[in-house]
Structure 1
Amino acid sequence: MTQTAIPFLLMRGGTSRGPYLNRADLPEDHDTLAQVLIAMVGSGHALNIDGIGGGNAVTTKVAMLSQSDDDWADIDYFFAQVSVEDQSVDFKPTCGNILSGVGPAAIEMGLIPPDGAETTVKIRAVNTGARVVAQVQTPNVAVSYVGEASIDGVPGQAAPIGLQFMDTIGGATGAFLPTGNLIDRFDGIDVTCMDVAMPMVIARADAFDLTGYETAEELNENTAFFAQMEAVRIKAGEAMGIKNVATSVTPKFGLLAPAKDGGTIATRYFMPWKAHPTMAVTGAQCLAACVLTPNTVADGMAARSNERPATVTLEHASGQIDVLVNYELTADGIEIHSAGLVRTARLLAKGDVMIPTTVWRQT
């Protein structure tokens, strides 16, 4: 045999897509694992022509699942962001959209049995330590992908998957405010550096002479903005204690502007070298936390709700996303207990994905 067969599910999770794999079917060491995932996705070509990636960072994501040995969790979710073109893999971040498919995938793989009309799956995000409770529709003792829930950025309707995120503070840096400040300034740009579900550098769009309402395509064509933004991101990331920022997808970058279409605030999210076509689930939580925290760069751009929990509606490049945040105001800002979102997922294909044995041969 000149190729190694690895069982996989190809799933859409939220507004992302990629292979979902059983961790037991993959090499243990991360260097070999990275080479396997690069070959699987086809990283190294703009179209991922020699793999199953889709030529965009939202379609070159990988979920690796296993039964958890944690006392709380049912499933361990290990995430990898594979680059589209430069043959690299980042194991630092997690992805909340791909996490939307973890519950259904775990059931499809037989890692957890369905339990009644709705199955609760407790998930530990290995990359960050976050705990997430997923509610998966399982009528007739099987995952159902048919329903009436819709999310902006995905056509049609599907079964809702409720996600409740906990332990999201400081997962990558160890602190809610990794620099210790509500506002820092780098290259003349005021930013808030925050680590809630995903470490982020957040700025006002007008600080870059942008409206904050640009399309993803318009932003991607603005090379001068990306050069300015990347310089700020690297300096901010280093101040946050993140290593090798220039070659890592963390911290992510976000822009804020006053709401335009009835939401709480307008946002744009970066992956970070391209504009996200919609919004990351993890990034949405961090941006919502920034909006709810007094004296950040979001001050004066949105009315803060006095309700507990509070719904923060983020306008993004393809519509809106609601984040339900359970929190308390404290002397240091806010204390977040949990954040809830509704996503959808769908199983697209299953079978074996083939990897050249020159990359990895199973023993």
Structure 2
Amino acid sequence: MTFSTASHSSSAQAQLPQKLPPGNTITQSKQTGGVVPKKENKPEAKPLAHFVAGGVGGMTAATLTSPLDVLKTRLQSDFYQDQLQALRASHPVRPAPSIIALPRSALLHFKETFQILHTIYKHEGPRALFKGLGPNLIGVVPARAINFYVYGNGKRILSDYLGYHDSMTTPWSVHLGAAAIAGMATGTATNPIWVIKTRLQLDKSNAESGKGGRQYKNSWDCIKQTVRHEGIRGLYKGLSASFLGVTESATQWVLYEQMKIFLARREAAKLADPYHVHSSWDDVELWGGRIAAAGIAKLFAAVATYPHEVVRTRLRQAPVVPVGGGKVQVKYTGLVQCFKVVAREEGLAGLYGGLTPHLLRVVPSAAIMFGMYEFILRLFGTTS
């Protein structure tokens, strides 16, 4: 009597667990009781979607927060630090117990911030609140587009290479690596734009000092003067501080991703609960949580790494050009030298000049930008 080895082997193989490709889940067949793979509805990877979403998000946030960006840049410069000191001298504050001093100092800082903002509006007009917005948008749109594009696709490539196919189990080191690469690529590509934007925002009327009008007519004139007096290298002033600023963007991305993972796990737990009834409040909680996560991540990252912002602004300031057309006089010559000069002349507080308007701008800006980023990715049929 002969036995069919073919039927026996196929039966045995059917009982062996089969290795499934990543992205599949296992369900039980109602007809046969066997185990069958079921594919997840994983969003299709669309690399250019990150580029468009990042650019639109950056443009929206930069336009809405432009007045605070102008104020922040001015308070980071040494000229407006002198103006702030004069404002404080005209309104001396009596000493107070330490329990009251800290909150009073914070309230005073906010008051001074809006007083200077009102002064800009009163003496220079409403257009001054949007000074530098043109080069700012020219810088923000490609900067955010490049940053989100490199980060989004870099995270996906690193995750696939290292074998992490589930976003909720991807380690923070992947996010850190992708953010560092994105930050350096963005800083190198857009540094000349930020130099021009900074110099235009710091270009003040010299009527009170009898020196005539403004130094720069427009963005193009600023580029020509910078190259004439400092060469092409002048357009890359502050690049070293920009690379130092990669720590801020990397910290922000890591914190944001970790908070998003927490929100995703919370959403998954709700979906797994058979008694949970999905409502519009769940969508509000998910999207509101992501927007809040972006703002909180930016808040912590900005406070922790803020001194590099001041140093970067100082390095990008226009040098003093003598009337006779002689050599330019440069006060800040390098990253370390700039740190030392600011700390020596203004104390450690000088490294946090403009922090209040900076936080007032970047926290809502981050919330707006990341919210738009996530929303536009959804319109493209993909996710971050």
Give the TM-score taking structure 2 as reference length: 0.24
Q: Which has the larger helix fraction?
A: 2
Q: Which has the larger strand fraction?
A: 1
Give the TM-score taking structure 1 as reference length: 0.25
